[in-house]
Structure 1
């Protein structure tokens, strides 16, 4: 087992969470726990980094606090927010802490809110990739994410700080949650499969701050500013997100496609609708969570390589494109030399792909 990464949760084999199967709950309760001495440490770390790298800028991110997995009866449909549906469900609560499954099963009554009114900050997802009918229509599981807000500055001063382990210990002792004082920004990543069965990976540039020179999957972060359009980064807050829950889910799903477009330089129209395989934790950054998706591409390996070599908006982040067959993806483990070339986010995506096999009918 690789100590750099673990799986927080995953969907059922041969399936995946489609956008309508994911819900979010946004609250200040899910923000990072703040105490004066930690805030002072964050400010110190930020000032030091900006002095060395003056091009850095802060930005709001979604913070993953925990996740609830509901398994609903097959006759219950939960993909229409305009209709109230109430059903008994088996609920599994998973906290985002150190890769451990803090889970318990109980009977739970869930309901979908009716006629959600969106505030002026909400927006609909634009430039959607092509629609795709998945076998997961038979899968009525619902994933609910508990989200707060955080920022890049807080990430550098907590998850990415030399004090990360001490912060985890403090959270464990004070509130029983090792991640309570950490930023925990939610990332996204894509296992991208070409039409001829090749998985796309990118060789990270030596100039990037994290995992330089290693193989990675396309990915990044969903952006709160995409939901709160017209609001400055420093003014984005949880209150502005109330009533925008579906827009937040849309941003999570659309952001992974946007990252593929920008990093691989292929058109959105060539991508299937993303399917969420699960959430992986990166322990080189104190258990930072990333939602890992499976996306099919209508282009061949050669087509994708050609688009990539033309250079896209984020071409500076990688130096080469690498392709692995599905068989190679399934065989990858810590015993193979290639495993050591993968950055933690790619390792998490590989583990989830092997567990879920969303392309297996």
Structure 2
């Protein structure tokens, strides 16, 4: 009887293992198809989104105009249209792509490190800290320093979160999240008080647009900030897939694989915070990108972070390009903050993802 029972358990284990192998193979096949398609979709989105606006621009002319600035061929655009394309729309579209990719990467990393499916890049109070820094310089009349102030505010919020979590005892993911909520609430209250006490009509509109997320002022300097942040911080995070896979099984499993759990966790959290702070500095607070998109990609390719991270980056870049295009074109000549568009799309999508997960449970 014992041998029969053991054989049955072994058969079931083999079957489960076989299902796991099949699932991984299917995920790899989907990734092999999706990755080049997403790259093409992103490239096409950059060109097509650049043509959309009040000026009448053809896709071919825009593409040749962009290539001419890269030293490839002649520019078919006159100086006015070339200024619209190269001076206004291209930097805005590229900034949207960099911010979308970075937020999606940061969201996926935060969800893995905290083992919290509701985690997003702003979990540690970064958005509220950046908002407080930005509002402060706007009210002081030195908006030219806004990116630096927002970045500094995000870093101060991170330091306050980690300091509070440490004061409560050993720094754990749960304590860190709770400390982040407290710091976020405090910074949010300080921001609201500053707006109520000091702002006038013009500054109020500028502050509101920044708090809701906007890429209206994105120029090549914004491309530089967001692009460098994604290259210098985002790419190393993309390469941390194996480590994040280990963390998803718990600290004990990660430690058994030779990972220094505490040091690695805080290194990755710090990198995510730096990336988020740089992105918030140029775009304001744009919600739902880092929360929803990793979930959506995970449903298609599975939980493995070596595929989840790069595909989330591609989806995030493409998504935010089109969200910003909608924001600036649907009610033209008026423009919506892009954070409103991402919330209108992201909230119902997230509800559907949660409903699907519940039905599968």
TM-score of the aligned structures, taking structure 1 as reference length: 0.24
Structure with higher helix content: 2
